[in-house]
Amino acid sequence: MEKPSPPISDPLLDKPLAGWRLRLYTIIFEADTRAGRLFDQALIAVILLSIAVVMADSVQAVRLVYGHALTYAEWVFTLLFTVEYIARLLCVRRPLRYATSFFGIIDLLAVLPTYLALFVPELHALIDVRVLRLLRVFRVFKLAAYVAEYQFLVSALAASGRKILVFLSAVLMVVLVMGTMMYVVEGQTNGFTSIPTSVYWAISTVTTVGFGDITPKTDLGRLIASFMMLMGWGILAVPTGIVTAEMAAQRRTHSGQAPTTRTCHECLTEGHAADANFCFNCGARLPPYQQQAGKAS
């Protein structure tokens, strides 16, 4: 890879973060200082509370009694998230890049539905997208020892990904053929009303879920179903074998590195080493690392 030239284009954007913007940035986007960690912990607590409110609001009995309080709480949370969203936009060097990033879109989607529901009540249910913000939970865990485990899981799964994809495509073909067969054999009177429905049934059977909302009634159908269940049992072993073999291999080569939440001001990549000077993703110069003195190991 060629070392990218420092992205100096816009004098306004290129100005390094400083003063209150740098402090805000360090608090909101990173979690290695005391304030940054407190902010993230508070954020997670508020997200969890907000989800609890949405969940409680969906229960008929609760809504009848506490409906007004829940609506009030929802507005408080929405305003909090709005303020946070604006603060995030203010303190990054390239607001547009943040706004179009994965977390930027989720942050926007977390506040939009409440406002839109004023005009289009049907959109109210979309508030639940908010739960995706919880993905930030791992940010905080990053500081704890959990991150090594998390990285271990992710890398083992990523290494197995291609094998699992091949495996899934084979399973999908089996499920298609089997579903069609059951559609022909069982006919439309026993719940196998269409091929998509039969495929849905076949998936629920091969994966050993077995809802039982649709079940074969004819002897031939039950024979095919028995065969599918035994087959599903046998090949259930395949993804397990893939992941296990991968994990056993990872165990041997895995060297745990202590990661940080240091974030590039330019492209918002996380995980820069404490002594790094340039972003490993976009090559921009990193500001000095702000770390908590007595950091919990």
Restricting to residues 73-112, name those near its own copies by CB under 8 A: none
Q: Is 66 in the site for its own copies (CB under 8 A)?
A: no
Q: Does 59 bind its own copies (CB under 8 A)?
A: yes
Residue with smaller CB distance to its own copies, 14 or 149: 149
Which of 100, 208, 257, 277 lies at the binding interface for its own copies (CB under 8 A)? 208
CB nearer to its own copies: give 93 or 142. Answer: 142
Report yes or no: 186 and 222 within 8 Å, Cβ to Cβ: no
Q: Closest separation between CB of residue 49 and its own copies, Å?
A: 14
Q: Is 260 left (phi over 0), alpha (psi -120 to 50) or beta?
A: beta
Separation of alpha carbons 238 and 242, rounded Å: 6
Per CB under 8 A, which of residues 152..181 are in contact with its own copies? 152-153, 156-157, 162-169, 171, 173, 176-177, 180-181
Query: Counting contacts by CB under 8 A, is residue 219 touching its own copies?
Result: yes
CB of 17 to its own copies, least distance (A): 31
**Sign of the C-alpha dihedral, residues 166, 167, 171, 172?**
negative
Q: Which long-range contacts (CB under 8 A, 24 or more apart) does 266-274 make?
A: 266/7, 266/93, 266/94, 267/97, 268/29, 268/92, 268/97, 268/98, 268/101, 270/139
**Residue 96 C-beta: closest distance to its own copies, Å:** 27
Shortest distance, position 203 Cβ to its own copies, whole Å: 5
| Residue 281 is a binding residue for its own copies (CB under 8 A) | no
Q: Is 283 left (phi over 0), alpha (psi -120 to 50) or beta?
A: left
236 binds its own copies (CB under 8 A): yes
Smallest distance, its own copies to C-beta of residue 124, A:
10
- Taking contact as CB under 8 A, which single stretch among the options 89-97, 100-108, 244-252, 261-269 is the one that binds its own copies? 244-252
Q: How many CB atoms lie within 10 A of CB 53?
A: 21
58 near its own copies, judged by CB under 8 A: yes
Contact of 180 with 187, CB cutoff 8 Å: no
**Distance linking the first and last C-alpha atoms of the chain:** 34
